């Protein structure tokens, strides 16, 4: 069973901040330095997660609109919304190779259908299949 603190590391949009490089850099000095070299402000990392920083993600200059929307509607996750899935969760090919945003709807459906504990346990594999898997038509991404 996951701790409440760990559960709070999953953003309303379904991104697992607990497995984000901006968070895990606290345990990896090399990653921390590479993020600073990429232009992430030193004072904003390591990130403690979307919920704790109230939508002030280190990689965007303003408060996350998806976070603001879910908070305004008093939702824990976007899948609880009558408008789910909305345009803010729409996948895009733009930077899909480096941003986990195309995973949001899949992540949210996994949380809704299998529970937050199971999602957290399986997220590393989900992310790995997305970035490193080879697509097998009709069967989805496979790790080779």
Distance CA 87, CA 117 (A): 27
Percentage of the chain exceeding pLDDT 70: 100
Q: Look at residue 95 in the predicted model and tell me its pLDDT.
A: 87
Give this prediction's pTM. 0.88
pLDDT in tens, 51-80: 999 999 998 889 999 999 999 999 999 999
Residue 54 within a domain: yes
Residue 143 within a domain: no
Residue 138 within a domain: no
Residue 140 within a domain: no
pLDDT in tens, 26-47: 999 999 999 999 999 999 999 9
pLDDT in tens, 88-141: 999 999 988 888 889 999 999 999 999 999 999 999 999 999 999 999 999 989
Domain count for the chain, please give it. Answer: 1
CA dihedral 92, 95, 99, 104 (to 10 degrees): 0
Distance CA 19, CA 24 (A): 6
Residue 100 within a domain: yes
Residue 42 within a domain: yes
Residue 8 within a domain: yes
Residue 144 within a domain: no
Q: Look at residue 143 in the predicted model and tell me its pLDDT.
A: 87
Distance CA 127, CA 61 (A): 25
Range of the domain at 99: 4-132
């Amino acid at each position: 069973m996951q701790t409440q603190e760990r559960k709070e590391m999953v953003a309303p949009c379904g991104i697992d901040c607990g497995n984000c490089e901006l968070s895990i850099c606290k345990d990896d000095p090399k990653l921390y330095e590479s993020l600073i070299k990429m232009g992430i402000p030193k004072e904003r990392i390591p990130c403690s997660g979307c919920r704790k920083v109230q939508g002030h993600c280190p990689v965007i200059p303003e408060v996350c609109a998806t976070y603001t929307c879910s908070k305004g509607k008093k939702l824990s996750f976007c899948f609880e919304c009558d408008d789910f899935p909305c345009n803010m969760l729409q996948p895009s090919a733009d930077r899909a190779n480096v941003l986990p945003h195309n995973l949001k709807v899949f992540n949210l459906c996994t949380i809704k259908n299998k529970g937050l504990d199971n999602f957290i346990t399986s997220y590393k594999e989900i992310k790995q299949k997305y970035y490193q898997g080879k697509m097998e038509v009709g069967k989805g991404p496979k790790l080779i």
